[in-house]
Each structure stands twice: as structure tokens, then as C-alpha cells.
Amino acid sequence: MTEHRRLQAQEERGRQAEELLKHPLIQEAFIKLKGDLLNEFISTGLDNDKQRLNAWQQSQILDKFERNFESIVNTGNHAKISLLENAKSKLRNII
């Protein structure tokens, strides 16, 4: 795979990941899940370490899942910038 195609693929993946993250149903799901996990963590008694730890671990996994998509978006944005810079450079060479 050429560098140009690799950058195009990264840009497309980033676009798709951003589209998913911005989708209202996905945003609603993240908000609900985070709220549910926070409520579970807060409502458990201090003596119930296992349940509190479980809620905390689930929230960490959810955050990691969301950060993974954000990382793909960032990589796609960097790829887009690289593609634009490459196109500008080629155009300058022609002129």
C-alpha cells in the first residue's frame, strides 16, 4: 500500500469514527451508560468494595472505548492534513 493510499484510508477511518461519535444515538448511549455507572458507584455502600470496583472498572472500559474512537478521529485529521500538504507541494512543483 502506497503512502498516499494509507493516508486516504486513515482519513476515511477517521471520518467514519467521527460520524459514529457524533451520532445522536451513540451520544445518548454514552451519556446513559456513564450516568448509570456513576449512579451505581455512588449508591453502593462503602462496605461493598466489589460492586464499587466493578462500576469503576466498567466506566474505565467505556472511557477507553470512547478514547479509541477519538484517537482514530485524530489520526484521520492528521492524515487529511498530510494529504493536503502533499497536494500543495505537488502543485508548487508544477507552477
Model pLDDT for residues 12-41, shown as the tens digit of each residue: 999 999 999 999 999 999 999 999 999 999
pTM listed for this prediction: 0.84
What distances in angstroms separate CA 57 from CA 50, 81, 93, one per listed residue? 10, 36, 54
Q: Which amino acid is at 74?
A: N
Nearest CA-CA partner of 64 in 30, 16, 25, 23: 30
CB 77 within 8 A of CB 18: no
CB 41 within 8 A of CB 59: yes
Higher confidence at residue 82 or residue 94? 82
CB 27 within 8 A of CB 38: no
Model pLDDT for residues 37-93, shown as the tens digit of each residue: 999 999 988 889 999 999 999 999 999 999 999 999 999 999 999 999 998 888 777
